[in-house]
Amino acid sequence: MSSLAELTDRVRAFAQERDWEQFHTPKNLAMALAGEVGELLAELQWLTPEQSAAVMADEDLGPRVRAEIGDVTIYLVRLADVLGIDLVEGALEKLADSARRYPAR
Amino acid sequence: MSSLAELTDRVRAFAQERDWEQFHTPKNLAMALAGEVGELLAELQWLTPEQSAAVMADEDLGPRVRAEIGDVTIYLVRLADVLGIDLVEGALEKLADSARRYPAR
Amino acid sequence: MSSLAELTDRVRAFAQERDWEQFHTPKNLAMALAGEVGELLAELQWLTPEQSAAVMADEDLGPRVRAEIGDVTIYLVRLADVLGIDLVEGALEKLADSARRYPAR
Amino acid sequence: MSSLAELTDRVRAFAQERDWEQFHTPKNLAMALAGEVGELLAELQWLTPEQSAAVMADEDLGPRVRAEIGDVTIYLVRLADVLGIDLVEGALEKLADSARRYPAR
């Protein structure tokens, strides 16, 4: 299984090989991330809660949702790389904050 | 260093301990992901490209951007878990697609 | 010139004629609105500030931005109609709030 | 009742009085619009379809949804003003396009 660190390297190399680093400011990447999340929403917007829960079993919608989540992940990983943020560490810190604000029952 | 798999487990446990799994349909989680990306955009929206490139060095904005990216990551990891998607594999597949569509120079 | 009230009626009739009212919950419409805003972001994401300021003069991008803003407006008008909100009144109220929070120099 | 044209003038004056025009590029305003739509999503994300349909009757959520839609409208109106787009005309054009692509039954 590939790791997040390997994915980060692959996405960075992808940008370098196309001379796209000049476009990859945090601001632009955040917009691109939002654009991809918008495409993900568009796949789910008219579904009932039940239909959304079964979406991966749909032979048409399932692969599209998977592809959109792939795009979201690519831009999130690229944004974190450009900002010098470790995604897992950052998320664990935020989860610890949330645990203090919303104690478990 | 913690892995993405560990983060996935931690986020799942966090939801279970609060009885929040009932709210975590793919549709609802995609909305929550979009909401967090919206907060990230709000931190960057008035910055020049140059200011955005240096945002992590700002003692006020840097931690806020880091926290928003933490929230985005938490919801993306949770959404992938609920859908049964491996984030890294899905992103690598999409990257391979993009490589075919946009050949390197 | 057509008014916002006329546009609201036209969008409502459009939904009724296609039997789409069943899908038009506030939640679904907010997702559709976000999806269209995501498409708008995608048109602007790699532009410099200066390029974005001149976007309507670009014969390719100008009409696309116009079309995306049309879609955003359609879903915002539809959402306000379903919620029973007068868009102009609601915006003026919020503007008055903001004027109190951010006094003019 | 106030019109969209009056709202446009008020929002423009609001920006001028605060010397905020320098920040109001189409790119920045599209990000601000997306940020406000994200806040709207956050109000609706955990609701069932039925709860979302009744949201304006909720004494807590109703005013918050109204305020978020006010913010979305303000940024959309400001963006259209900066781009020189008539929101109603643009939406009617797009509606005519959609009518061709999705004929009524």
Confidence of residue B17 (pLDDT cuts 50, 70, 90): very high
Q: Rounded to two decimals, what is the model's pTM?
A: 0.97
Q: What is the pLDDT of residues B35-47, one digit of tens each?
A: 999 999 999 999 9
% chain C with pLDDT above 70: 98
- Contact residues, chain C, for D30 at CB < 8 Å: 37, 40-41, 44
**Quick check: C15 contacting D, CB < 8 Å?**
no
* Alpha-carbon gap, residue B73 to B37, rounded angstroms: 10
**Quick check: A84 contacting D, CB < 8 Å?**
no
Cβ contact, residue pair C48, B49, below 8 Å: yes
**Quick check: B6 contacting A, CB < 8 Å?**
yes
Between C31, C48, C49, which is nearest B31 by CB? C31
Q: What is the pLDDT of residues D38-89, one digit of tens each?
A: 999 999 999 999 999 999 999 999 999 999 999 999 999 999 999 999 999 9
Closest CA to A31 of C64, C49, D30: D30
- SS3 track for A28-54: HHHHHHHHHHHHHHHHHCCCCHHHHHC
Whether pLDDT at D26 is above 60: yes
**Quick check: C48 contacting B, CB < 8 Å?**
yes
Size of interface B-C (CB pairs under 8 A): 11
A101 backbone dihedrals φ, ψ, rounded to 5°:
-75, -30
C62 backbone dihedrals φ, ψ, rounded to 5°:
-55, -55
Confidence of residue B4 (pLDDT cuts 50, 70, 90): very high
Q: What is the pLDDT of residues B69-95, one digit of tens each?
A: 999 999 999 999 999 999 999 999 999
CATH of the domain at A52: 1.10.287.1080
Residue A47: domain span: 4-101
- What Rg do the C-alpha atoms of chain C give, in angstroms? 16
Q: What is the pLDDT of residues A33-89, one digit of tens each?
A: 999 999 999 999 999 999 999 999 999 999 999 999 999 999 999 999 999 999 999
Q: Which two tokens stand for residue B38?
A: 């919206």
Q: What is the pLDDT of residues C76-97, one digit of tens each?
A: 999 999 999 999 999 999 999 9
Q: What is the pLDDT of residues C48-87, one digit of tens each?
A: 999 999 999 999 999 999 999 999 999 999 999 999 999 9
Per-residue pLDDT averaged across A24-30, rounded?
A: 98
**Quick check: B38 contacting A, CB < 8 Å?**
yes
- What is the structure's pLDDT at A31? 98
Q: How much is the mean pLDDT over chain D?
A: 96
Q: Which two tokens stand for residue A52?
A: 């959304």
Confidence of residue D105 (pLDDT cuts 50, 70, 90): confident
- What is the structure's pLDDT at B104? 87
* Alpha-carbon gap, residue D24 to D14, rounded angstroms: 12
* Alpha-carbon gap, residue C32 to C46, rounded angstroms: 23
**Quick check: C34 contacting A, CB < 8 Å?**
yes
ipTM above 0.85, yes or no: yes
Whether pLDDT at D1 is above 60: no
Between B32, B37, B45, which is nearest D45 by CB? B32
Q: Which two tokens stand for residue B74?
A: 């938490």
- Indicate the number of domains in chain A: 1
Residue of higher predicted confidence among A98 and D1: A98
Q: How far is C37 from chain A (nearest CA, A)?
A: 7
